[in-house]
Amino acid sequence: MSKPLPVVFVWHFHQPCYLDYATGIYRMPWVRLHAIKDYYGFALTLSRFSEIKATFNITPVLAAQILDIRKRRASDEFLDLSYRPADTLNFEEQLFLLRNFFSLNWETMVTLFPRYRQLLGKRGRTSSGEELEERVSDFSVPEWRDLQVLFNLAWFHPTLRQEEGILKELVRKGRNYTEEEKTALLDFQYEIIARIIPLWKRMSEEGQIEISTSPYYHPILPLLLSGPQPLPEDAALQVRMAREFCRDTFGSDPAGCWPSEGAVSNETLNLLTREGFLWTATDEGILRRSWDSGGLPAEGIYQPYTYQSDAGKINVIFRDQRISDKIGFTYRFQEAKSASDDFCADLLRIKHLLGDGPGAAHIILDGENAWESYPVNGVPFLTDLYAALSERKEFRTCTVRQSLSETRTLPLNRIHTGSWVNQDLHIWSGYPAADFAWAAVTRARQARRIEEIREPARSSILAAEGSDWFWWFSPEHYSGRDQEFDALFRLFLLNFYRFQGEKEPEDLQKFIKEFQKGEVRLPKNPIQPEIDGRITSYYEWLGAGHLVEGIFSGAMHQQQGAVVTNFYFGWDRDNLYLRLDLDPVCAEEDGFLFLLNFGSAGQWSFKAENGKIIPQSYSFPIAQDTIIEVAFPWKELNLISGSGLEFYFEIRRDNHILKRLPRQGSLNLTVPGEDYQESFWR
């Protein structure tokens, strides 16, 4: 019997620093909320499959915040307003709840709770700020209290909601919660948060997981080491602090380091080697660009390599981009068993490619952000996957260090400078907002040695070097909270000056990024465009609804192009009209499948090759030239006039979902009746 294929999972867990070192207040709640949903629940799921081994890459800035929150040293506004008695909330606090207590995936989290879904409908899915202000008075005290409870309850991992008595009872009750029940729920968060680090540590001591780390505040090391405004001392300190934190927290030195965003360079590998790391990892695209002797053989990305420098040797592994991205972006849209079977089929392909030779499948990706888009937070998929890998003899999961100890490595003479995103660093440098931000960090330092800067000023400046701020500064990403990320970055720098007793630069009082407001703009009047694939006149789409491109983006970056830059929709009595403006980079590419999903009313699809719609007997007019235009007849949906309809649009290629419009939830329409024209003016 041939030997089993080593399968190496590296799950990366990270959040940036949200702690205001001047006040001790957390400016955002995402460490706390992901703690009760992902950091404990994900490990709990894995722990129930003792044969499955994995590597957890835990950033120190995340773990330090978990430890701090566990001790109740600080709070955040979301938590403070959750504890606030519902009958004492003032108008501004109520408005905050309407704006922020639906900040989670509506399809996979809100819809689990009938009362929560009802409150979302009452609030409105596409409400503007002014509309939210008008709706504050529509909510009663019991509704505010239920919203406080359900927002926090929905963030708990589904396994906890099934197994923990206090959560089970709140789910069963469903509505009309008391202040005592709410307080008990919020207090229970701390019990779960207190379990996280001990569970990680126990799983590490038992050998089920290996704990690796990243530079402390998650900076992009190649930019700190040799970017336009380098700070090499800071890079070394961030790496050294990470090793020390990992040793102090988990009891041993980490063998491995996932450099932030998989960003590497020759200088980065030299630094990691000097600091004592035995292995590191990055994307397969980096290996392809580092390969000097002809084309990279198909089995090349599955081999471990050894990089030799004056600093010594370090092993390097490369993530399988295809499989990793399927978990991150595609499998959430598939039934769990089907996704698990597809995963195993990919592993069999790799096994047949390698034969009995050396190599392993390296699956490396974010361990938290993807699950929010999966049904039941990914538990069915992970359960099916872990069960299959436990039972099948063709595969054997192992940690990175275990895998490296069992196979020979190949020499790697050089490493291409870049990250897992397009094998370059453009997300974090080279555009106006990032250039200003890097200049602001360098200016604050004023050539002072980092070792000479005392706490808490030093923590503030190091936190400002984190990759996350530059990620959201990028014009390619939109979070819905870009202004808050912008303000937090500037706060770290402003605090640095205050701690140093120095004058704050005036330009740090202004927003750095020009904001693209992500929103759905509803139609203003009926339209009747000519379906010819061209913008025939200025007026034919005037007044149509518009889904702004910013709302398409998410915390995770898909490597495909933008595909669609604008999405318009409108209607008349007979048709729903759709317009897709394609990214010129993608417009001539092959193999796009466009899928219209109307939920229970059905779904329809059409295909495009070489920039043209493939002729078929479609039941609706469709054309592609400079744009794609569709006229979809209402009668195809078999819905009566005046009835509600929700729909979304997907763009696929090679079974990968490239875009979903909107990114979460659906567009809500009303099938027009005889008075459809007048209804626009009511």
Query: At 561, is the pLDDT very low, low, confident or very high (cuts 50, 70, 90)?
Result: very low
89-99 in b/e burial notation, b at 16+ Cβ within 10 A? beeebbbebbe
Q: What distance in Å separates the CA atoms of residue 40 and residue 63, rounded to the nearest whole number? A: 12
Q: Is the pLDDT of residue 555 over 90?
A: no
Contact present, 272 and 225 (Cβ < 8 Å): no
pLDDT tens, residue by residue, 390-421:
999 999 999 999 999 999 999 999 999 999 98
- State the average pLDDT over residues 290-304: 89
pLDDT at 670: 78
- State the average pLDDT over residues 541-561: 60
Under 8 Å CB-to-CB from 640, ≥6 apart: which residues?
671
Q: Is the pLDDT of residue 584 over 50?
A: yes
Q: Is the pLDDT of residue 455 over 70?
A: yes
pLDDT at 552: 39
Q: Is the pLDDT of residue 514 over 50?
A: yes
Q: Is the pLDDT of residue 446 over 80?
A: yes
Lowest mean pLDDT among 22-31, 183-192, 618-627: 618-627
Q: Is pLDDT larger for residue 583 or for residue 651?
A: 651
Query: At 478, is the pLDDT very low, low, confident or very high (cuts 50, 70, 90)?
Result: low
Query: At 557, is the pLDDT very low, low, confident or very high (cuts 50, 70, 90)?
Result: low
Tell me the average pLDDT of the chain: 89
H or E segment and range at residue 460: helix 457-464
Contact present, 566 and 549 (Cβ < 8 Å): yes
pLDDT at 558: 53
pLDDT at 672: 77
Give percent of the chain with pLDDT exceeding 90. Answer: 66
- State the average pLDDT over residues 464-476: 89
Q: Is the pLDDT of residue 523 over 60?
A: yes
Domain 520-679 falls in which CATH fold? Immunoglobulin-like (2.60.40)
H or E segment and range at residue 547: strand 545-547
Query: At 646, is the pLDDT very low, low, confident or very high (cuts 50, 70, 90)?
Result: confident
Q: How many CB atoms lie within 10 A of CB 25?
A: 14
Q: Is pLDDT larger for residue 576 or for residue 43?
A: 43
pLDDT at 98: 96
Most confident listed range (398-407, 519-528, 536-545, 608-617): 398-407
Which pTM was predicted? 0.82
Lowest mean pLDDT among 68-72, 371-375, 677-681: 677-681
pLDDT at 550: 44
Lowest mean pLDDT among 33-42, 44-53, 517-526, 669-678: 669-678
Lowest mean pLDDT among 99-108, 117-126, 440-449, 598-607: 598-607
Q: Is pLDDT larger for residue 583 or for residue 235?
A: 235
pLDDT at 499: 96
DSSP 8-state class, residue 420: T
pLDDT tens, residue by residue, 330-364:
898 889 999 999 999 999 999 999 998 999 999 99
Q: Is pLDDT larger for residue 326 or for residue 515?
A: 326
From first CA to last CA, the distance across the chain in angstroms is: 74
Radius of gyration from C-alpha coordinates of the chain: 26
Q: Is pLDDT larger for residue 254 or for residue 292?
A: 254
Q: Is pLDDT larger for residue 182 or for residue 678?
A: 182
User: In this structure, what token pair is assigned to residue 280?
Assistant: 């590191």
Phi–psi pair at 611, nearest 5 degrees: 80, 15
pLDDT tens, residue by residue, 236-265:
999 999 999 999 999 999 999 999 999 999
- State the average pLDDT over residues 97-119: 94
Contact present, 226 and 266 (Cβ < 8 Å): no
User: In this structure, what token pair is assigned to residue 569?
Assistant: 């929709």
Report domain extents, the chain: 5-65+203-293+300-412, 71-192, 430-509, 520-679
Q: Is the pLDDT of residue 466 over 70?
A: yes
- State the average pLDDT over residues 63-86: 95
pLDDT at 295: 82
Q: Is the pLDDT of residue 671 over 50?
A: yes
Beta strands, E only, 95-199: none
Domain 5-65+203-293+300-412: assigned CATH number:
3.20.110.20
What angle (nearest 5°) sits at the alpha carbon of residue 488, between those of residues 126 and 555? 50
- State the average pLDDT over residues 451-471: 95
Q: Is the pLDDT of residue 126 over 80?
A: no
Q: Is the pLDDT of residue 515 over 80?
A: no
Torsion sign, CA atoms 32, 38, 39, 41: positive
Q: Is the backbone of residue 480 left (phi > 0), alpha (psi -120 to 50) or beta?
A: left
Query: At 125, is the pLDDT very low, low, confident or very high (cuts 50, 70, 90)?
Result: confident
User: In this structure, what token pair is assigned to residue 380?
Assistant: 């069915």
